[in-house]
Chain A
């Protein structure tokens, strides 16, 4: 019976969450869900930062996680404002319809 969790399990979980975030980012067509997939990827990276912080018995990883959270909050504010503007001008949330920079 194991009583402790190997560190590689945490890293594997982080990899799984990151891959699911990438899948959502590439496959989904709703601009808000694409944005939420980015948040999922940021969370996966945060988990590996905290895990490595535990491995090295060092607080720096927690600080990086803290800064990632700040950047995520700023990104959410600006990104959602962009989504509001896109919806106001085009009345759609589908990223396939927002293609005026193509060609």
Chain B
């Protein structure tokens, strides 16, 4: 059952990720990326990361992708024009070789190690995340607020109109 669930959503994620790369229109890429993020949220649930799955849907698929689609619509970005596909000749085989090597080493380093079962890890709920966030990771959490402040100021400074 878990294997079937994994295979279905892994397939959706890979197909959508390929679609992100090969679509010429940015809106199609953005919608495929939402598909990748949705299927990754299901895989997070399978791994027992309930809070992260919810945050993935709300923050990534919700907020960040809406920002992307907003900018694409605002700039009225059209389909990308290609100057030929000569890069595919060395690129595609290299990508496959790289993936094959990576898969081989991953399989060799984790031979028959931990098996993932649904419900095998219970420590991923909001309570556990919150406890860790406000005890062990309190300083990084506070530093994050400065990062967001810097991002807000940077975005305003970059996007504002010059006042004469």
A16 adjacent to B99 (CB under 8 Å): yes
Number of residues of chain B lying within 8 A (CB) of chain A: 81
With A11-B106, A66-B129, A70-B144 known to touch, is A93 a contact of B2 (CB < 8 Å)? no
Q: Is the CB of B155 within 8 A of A78?
A: yes
Q: Mark B24-48, 1 if CB is under 8 A from A, else 0.
A: 0010011001001100100110111
CA distance A60 to B106 in the complex (A): 22
Q: Which of A37-88 contact B (CB under 8 A)?
A: 37, 39-40, 43, 46-47, 50-51, 53-55, 57-60, 62-63, 65-67, 69-78, 80-85, 87
Question: A84 vs B142: C-alpha distance in the bound complex, in angstroms?
Answer: 30
**Which chain B residues border A55 with CB–CB below 8 Å?**
113-114
A7 close to B77 (CB less than 8 A): no
A75 to B10, CA, bound (A): 26
Within the complex, which residue of A40, A51, A93 is in contact with B47, where a contact is CB–CB below 8 Å?
A: A51
Q: Quick one: given A6-B110, A17-B17, A36-B33, are A66 and B6 in contact (CB under 8 Å)?
A: no
Q: How far does the alpha carbon of A19 sit from the alpha carbon of B6 in the complex, in Å?
A: 20
Q: Which of B17, B68, B91 contacts A16 (CB 8 A)?
A: B17
In the bound complex, do residue A57 and residue B151 qualify as a contact, i.e. CB atoms below 8 Å apart?
no
B17 to chain A minimum Cβ distance, whole angstroms, is 4
Interface residues on A, range: 35 or more
A20 touches B18 (CB 8 A): yes
| Given A5-B46, A40-B36, A78-B154, residue A33 in contact with residue B117 (CB < 8 A) | no
Q: Judge whether B37 and A32 touch: CB under 8 Å.
A: no
- For B116, list chain A residues within 8 Å (CB): 4-7, 10, 51, 54
Given contacts A20-B21, A50-B47, A53-B121, 14 further A-B pairs with CB under 8 A are A9-B6, A21-B17, A23-B95, A30-B26, A33-B20, A33-B29, A36-B26, A37-B21, A50-B44, A53-B49, A59-B132, A62-B51, A76-B67, A84-B71
List the 7 closest pairs (A to B, CB-CB), nearest first. Answer: A74-B151, A4-B115, A81-B158, A24-B21, A81-B155, A15-B102, A81-B159
